[in-house]
Amino acid sequence: MLAITTPEETSRKFSVDTTGIEFHEELSFDEWNIIGSKIVPMAKTIGFVVGDWINYGESRYGEKYAEALRETKMTLETLKQFSYVARNIEKCRRLHVLDWSHHQAVAKVKDPDEQSRWLSIAENDRMSVRRLRKSISAGRPLNAEEIKEDPADRGYVTYLALLNRIRRWWARETQKAPVEEWDEDRREGLKKDFKLILDIYEAL
């Protein structure tokens, strides 16, 4: 059982184990928010925690990935990344307000003081990981407009991606209950919503 410290009254309403959270009673918004405030920092630090653990095992016992693979069931590539980032960024330079991925972007910078500078810039400018990576490559902080103007980095959503999302949604919903079991209001509401797709099809 994993422990998340919350007020006693809230703690009775949920339990956490290695497969997720189970809620035993209804939560108020404030209670739900408190749990989130405890979970998010844990999620943001897991890469460093596992990485430091692997690196200690290597220095103390000569063990590295074999034991970590057995214990964590994570992929070798994930463990290598955790180890690499934890090894290259000293604990005193890590910023809890930034995600592990921000530190991963900075880990390739060799000079520790330069690492701290980039992490500080990322915090102060509220940089995305993508913007931070590109700024490091450029050797200077890039603004959001400069990132948008990079023709090699312009993402777009194709109609196939949208259709696949609808197909996955449809599969989930029909697995929960066959269409024959849906009430009339739900079926009519979906027909109305999906008429737009039919209109597009008929216009082709």
Rounded-to-integer distance, Cα 76 and Cα 68, Å: 9
Do 183 and 102 belong to one domain?
no
Q: Domain end: 88, 119, 146, which one?
A: 88
Rounded-to-integer distance, Cα 101 and Cα 107, Å: 10
pLDDT at 155: 47
Which parts of the chain have pLDDT scores under 70?
Answer: 1-9, 18, 149-161
Q: Which residues pair with 148 in a beta bridge?
A: none
pLDDT at 107: 96
For residue 119, what are the domain limits?
Answer: 89-155
Do 114 and 136 belong to one domain?
yes
Tokens of 64: 């590295």
Rounded-to-integer distance, Cα 3 and Cα 5, Å: 6
Phi then psi dihedrals of residue 40, to 5 deg: -55, -50
Rounded-to-integer distance, Cα 17 and Cα 20, Å: 6
Q: Give yes or no for a contact between 103 and 52, defined as CB atoms under 8 angstroms apart.
A: no
Rounded-to-integer distance, Cα 86 and Cα 103, Å: 9
Tokens of 18: 């290695």
1 CB neighbour count, 10 Å cutoff: 6
| Overall domain count for the chain | 3
Do 111 and 187 belong to one domain?
no
pLDDT at 156: 45
Maximum alpha-carbon separation in the chain: 68
Q: Domain end: 88, 121, 145, which one?
A: 88
